[in-house]
Amino acid sequence: MRLLAASINAQAVVEVGTGAGVSAAALLAGMAPDGVLTSIDVEAENQRVARETLTALGYDHTRTRLIAGRALDVLPRLSDAAYDIVFVDGDKNEYPAILAQAKRLLRVGGLAIFDNMLWSGRVADPAERDSETVALRDVAAAVKADDDWLPVLLTIGDGLLVTALRSRD
């Protein structure tokens, strides 16, 4: 995550799924020194823990904006073409709708990054038909079918789909 943020000199990043702040810390480490990370999570407790993590690592509170809420309620309120990265590690069922929001939020050249795209091997298994697995397949298919995206699937961890926005329809 640090490398991806640094490679495009990210100034503004949206993270969906705050967790304990581990990915936020990696993103901040790669972002421009004055960059701001906006992190959205439905669990306020996750954000409290993340704030503690980031403070312990020495990140000034002005570099983060933590928003409690459902991603699909918050993302539409963010500015068009104002972000360098949209990192998604939240509710897998929301991934397809978040992809559409990411396209609106990103500047051309920005990155949409989706975590868990291998989903412990379930995405590749056609017998797996649960809603989360289907949603992950739908994101991969949507990115593949849209020439505005330039994707790569990194097979690290549980899979990371990284896709650059080449243009906007």
Mean pLDDT of all residues in 15-40: 97
- Spatial contact of 167 and 108, defined as CB atoms under 8 Å apart: yes
Q: Which pLDDT tens digit goes with each residue over 114-127? A: 999 999 999 999 99
Mean pLDDT of all residues in 141-152: 98
- Spatial contact of 27 and 2, defined as CB atoms under 8 Å apart: yes
Per-residue pLDDT, 169:
73
The domains found in the chain, sorted by start residue, are: 2-165 (3.40.50.150)
Q: Which pLDDT tens digit goes with each residue over 75-86? A: 999 999 999 999
What is the distance between the alpha carbons of residues 27 and 15, in angstroms, rounded to a whole number?
9
Check whether 22 has a pLDDT greater than 90: yes
**Can you give the pTM of this predicted structure?**
0.96
What is the distance between the alpha carbons of residues 136 and 142, in angstroms, rounded to a whole number?
10
